[in-house]
């Protein structure tokens, strides 16, 4: 059965959810992705101890667990910010300037795709295509799709979301 005295510091609620998922799949290593989903649902992200705990329970190398967790965009290794800004980098959005928005965020706020501001206010996500090419360039703020904004308009909106009045 499940060992509740793991050497990893995974909280009890998360450990129980992980153990239930693994048990439901008879401890098979092919339950890894579902187990990662379960773990992330309870904590909001996948920390190092959680990944190690899953590797131990499924009896697979930690590098494999880490590899799967970092391969899929859905999984996060750090807490998500209070707000999420997704910048589409599909062909239409790239041609219409979204690469400039990403560069500006990097220069102005030292924020790169996959990162969150130090105050956990904003997470930046790069999306290959949101499927709204006719509205390019497209950014998505907390699920709200905003399109057809020029660089200056987009930057003004982003500053409002970040709380930067300059």
| CATH topology classification for 12-71 | Arc Repressor Mutant, subunit A (1.10.10)
User: What is residue 18's predicted lDDT score, i.e. its pLDDT?
Assistant: 96
Cα–Cα distance for residue pair 78/60, rounded to 1 Å: 22
Three-state DSSP class for 135? Answer: helix
Using CA atoms, how far apart are residues 29 and 138, in angstroms rounded to an integer? 39
| CATH number for domain 83-162, candidates 3.40.30.10, 3.10.129.10, 3.60.15.10, 2.40.128.120 | 3.40.30.10
Q: What is the pLDDT, as a whole number, of residue 60?
A: 98
**Using alpha carbons only, what angle is made at residue 132 by residues 126 and 137, rounded to the nearest 5 degrees?**
60
Contact 61, 22 (CB under 8 A): no
Residues 6+ apart with CB under 8 A from 101: 87, 137, 139, 151, 154, 155, 158
What integer pLDDT is reported at residue 40 of this predicted model?
Answer: 94
Q: Where are the domains of the chain?
A: 12-71, 83-162
Binding positions for [2Fe-2S] cluster: 88, 93, 129, 133
Higher pLDDT, 50 or 2: 50
Mean pLDDT in residue range 39-68:
96
pLDDT tens-digit readout, 88-113: 999 999 999 999 999 999 999 889 99
Residue 26's φ and ψ, nearest 5 degrees, are: 55, 35
* pLDDT of the residue at 109: 87
Burial of 8 (0-12, 13-18, 19+ CB in 10 A): middle
Q: What is the pLDDT of residues 116-136, one digit of tens each?
A: 888 888 899 999 899 999 999
Q: What is the pLDDT of residue 4?
A: 43
- Those residues whose C-beta lies under 8 Å from the C-beta of residue 141, and which sit 6 or more positions away, are 83, 84, 85, 86, 157, 161
Give me the mean pLDDT over the 137-159 stretch: 93
| Residues that constitute the known binding site | 88, 93, 129, 133
What's the pLDDT tens digit per position in 1-46? 344 444 556 788 889 999 999 999 999 999 999 999 999 999 889 9
Question: pLDDT at position 8, please?
Answer: 56
The pLDDT value recorded for residue 49 is: 95
For residues 35 and 68, the answer to whether their CB atoms sit within 8 Å is no
Return the axis-axis angle of helices 32-43 and 48-58, rounded to nearest 10°.
Answer: 150
Q: Quote the radius of gyration of the chain (alpha carbons, Å).
A: 19
């Amino acid at each position: 059965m499940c060992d509740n005295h793991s050497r990893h510091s995974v909280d009890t609620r998360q450990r129980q959810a992980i153990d239930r998922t693994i048990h439901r799949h008879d401890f098979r290593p092919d339950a890894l992705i579902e187990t990662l989903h379960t773990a992330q649902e309870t904590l909001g992200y996948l920390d190092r101890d959680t990944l190690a705990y899953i590797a131990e329970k499924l009896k697979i190398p930690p590098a494999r667990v880490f590899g799967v967790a970092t391969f899929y965009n859905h999984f996060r290794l750090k807490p998500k910010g209070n707000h999420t800004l997704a910048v589409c980098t599909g062909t239409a959005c790239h041609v219409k300037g979204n690469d400039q928005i990403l560069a500006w965020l990097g220069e102005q706020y030292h924020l790169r795709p996959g990162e969150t501001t130090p105050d956990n206010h904003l997470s930046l996500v790069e999306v290959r295509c949101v499927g709204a090419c006719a509205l390019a360039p497209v950014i998505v703020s907390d699920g709200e799709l905003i399109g057809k904004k020029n660089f200056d308009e987009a930057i003004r909106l982003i500053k409002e979301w970040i709380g930067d009045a300059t």
